[in-house]
Amino acid sequence: MRCIIGAPKGTKDILPEVIYKWHFVEEIVRSLSLIFGFKEIRTPVFENTSLFKRSVGDETDVVQKEMYTFIDKGGRSVTLRPEGTAGVVRSFIENSLFNQVLPLKFFYINTFYRYENPQAGRYREFHQFGAEIFGSSSPQSDVEAILFAKSFFDKLGIKNLLLIINSIGCHSCKERYSKSLKDFFAPKEENLCYRCKQRIANNPFRVLDCKKQNCQEISKNAPSIVNFLCSECIVHFDLVRKLLDSFGIAYVVDPKAVRGLDYYTRTVFEFVSGELGSQNSVCGGGRYDNLVEQMGGPALPALGFAVGLERLFIVANQQHIDITKPQSCDIYIASATEDCRITAMEMSFLLRLNKNIICEYDISNKNLKSQIKYADKICAKFLLIIGEKEKKMNLGIVKNMETKETFKVKLLPREEFMDGIISVCC
């Protein structure tokens, strides 16, 4: 049977039978964030549209084609967040967090929204785990971010990811390189795809990142950013590589690796998987040393990354990563009569709130036989039966659903009941 109104295109329900996988991943994020010194930040799901135009770049694909933008009842243009960094930077400035002891490190697990054609691992509503570091310009902070991301993949058990790094230089380097790219692509414009023809004038870096075969072939002979880096950017990137080497982290330097958002500077990086097709990035990030000042804050260096969780789950499934499903019910309390049902309800809340035991009881007036079948269907570890005769004797019968062994416990006093359940079931 189908619902009359379906989910919007590009969205997906996360159902109870798989949500435990998301909880597992989120718990890894939170535990690693604590170890690495990253604190959680939560920003609004929508922001003023001007925030993204100013930070992400007015001519980027995200701003031009992919944002969910609308006019609210007050006549203001607002946009569902298409990425995480802009909102965190806005919060960092608006709340004067730059007055705190630096560097500051934040993480988030949020939903994001982009209007694009849904495909494997790419939805119009999607989830990302992201991290941001404010107040450090050192190569060590670049490697700190990469180590944080890699530790997350390692903890989850994801294998065969390739780390790609590059330096796209500071603002001056990017300006010189951008001019060279425009000069290179202009005579070849007619052989580029429609989108890249538009990119030549406004964002030639994005032509290098195009997945169309014709554009990739043309880009092979494009000038390399390596030849346009200033001495400071060269030293910075050399130190990043030396640090990665010292940690034994394998990587590939790809001079054509660029990030699609305008705010990136110097080090950029991606973790890619061969199991995702052309859209193979599961993590992308880099420096954005000018963005805080550009958005009205002080001149502070910063960097960050984001991991696409939908893509991550595709890789995890293909690599058969085993995420153990948690026990759904420790004890099911079955009751024979209305009076017994009230007792079952009381006992359930005692065990839940005082002993942290996952406990269920009948809430739909099933008969005793149906309750026992239900306990089996939900894979309850133990079954506690409160019958009319047993209740008069102040007893309940506990059954181990796997071994079929049975035990008796006193129902009153309550402390003795709880202790009896713990001794039998735990």
Give residue-wise pLDDT tens across range 357-367.
Answer: 999 999 999 99
Give the pLDDT of residue 117: 78
Query: Quick one: 88 exposed, middle or buried, by C-beta within 10 A (0-12, 13-18, 19+)?
Result: buried
- Asked if pLDDT for residue 58 goes beyond 60, the answer is no
- β-pairing, 302-308 vs 281-287, is antiparallel
In Å, how far are 45, 82, 106, 179 from 304, measured between CA atoms?
A: 19, 16, 9, 27
- Please name the helix (run of DSSP H) or strand (run of DSSP E) that holds residue 376, with its range, or none: helix 368-377
- β-pairing, 382-386 vs 281-287, is unpaired
Give the pLDDT of residue 279: 64
* DSSP letter (8 states) at residue 324: P
Cβ atoms 167, 186 nearer than 8 A? no
Query: Beta partners for 270?
Result: 164, 284
Instruction: Please give the share of the chain, as a percent, with pLDDT higher than 70.
Output: 96
End-to-end CA distance of the chain: 42
Q: What is the mean pLDDT of residues 84-100?
A: 96
Query: CA angle 196-197-198, nearest 5°?
Result: 85
Q: What is the pLDDT of residues 202-214, one digit of tens each?
A: 778 778 777 788 8
* H helix and E strand count, the chain: 16, 16
CATH class of segment(s) 16-170+230-318: alpha beta
- Asked if pLDDT for residue 425 goes beyond 90, the answer is no
- Asked if pLDDT for residue 110 goes beyond 60, the answer is yes
Q: What is the mean pLDDT of residues 141-167?
A: 95
- Asked if pLDDT for residue 403 goes beyond 90, the answer is yes
- Pairwise pLDDT comparison (226 vs 19), residue with the higher score: 19
Give the pLDDT of residue 215: 85
Q: What is the pTM of this model?
A: 0.88
- CB count within 10 Å of CB 301 equals 22
- Asked if pLDDT for residue 262 goes beyond 90, the answer is no
Q: What is the pLDDT of residues 297-342, one digit of tens each?
A: 999 999 999 999 999 999 999 999 988 888 889 999 999 999 999 9
301 cis-preceded (ω within 30 degrees of 0): no
- β-pairing, 265-273 vs 281-287, is antiparallel
Give the pLDDT of residue 277: 61
In 256-380, the DSSP E strands lie at 265-273, 281-287, 302-308, 331-335, 359-361
- According to the per-residue pLDDT averaged within each range, which of 30-44, 120-134, 271-285 is highest? 30-44
Annotate 277-295 with DSSP letters as a single string: TTS-EEEEEEE-TTHHHHT
- Asked if pLDDT for residue 59 goes beyond 60, the answer is no
Q: What is the mean pLDDT of residues 372-378?
A: 95
Beta-carbon contacts of residue 129 (< 8 Å; ≥ 6 apart):
25, 26, 29, 107, 108, 109, 152, 306, 307, 309
Residues of the chain with CATH 3.30.930.10: 16-170+230-318
Q: What is the pLDDT of residues 272-300, one digit of tens each?
A: 987 666 568 899 999 999 999 999 999 99
What does CATH list as the number for 331-425?
Answer: 3.40.50.800
Residues of the chain with CATH 3.40.50.800: 331-425
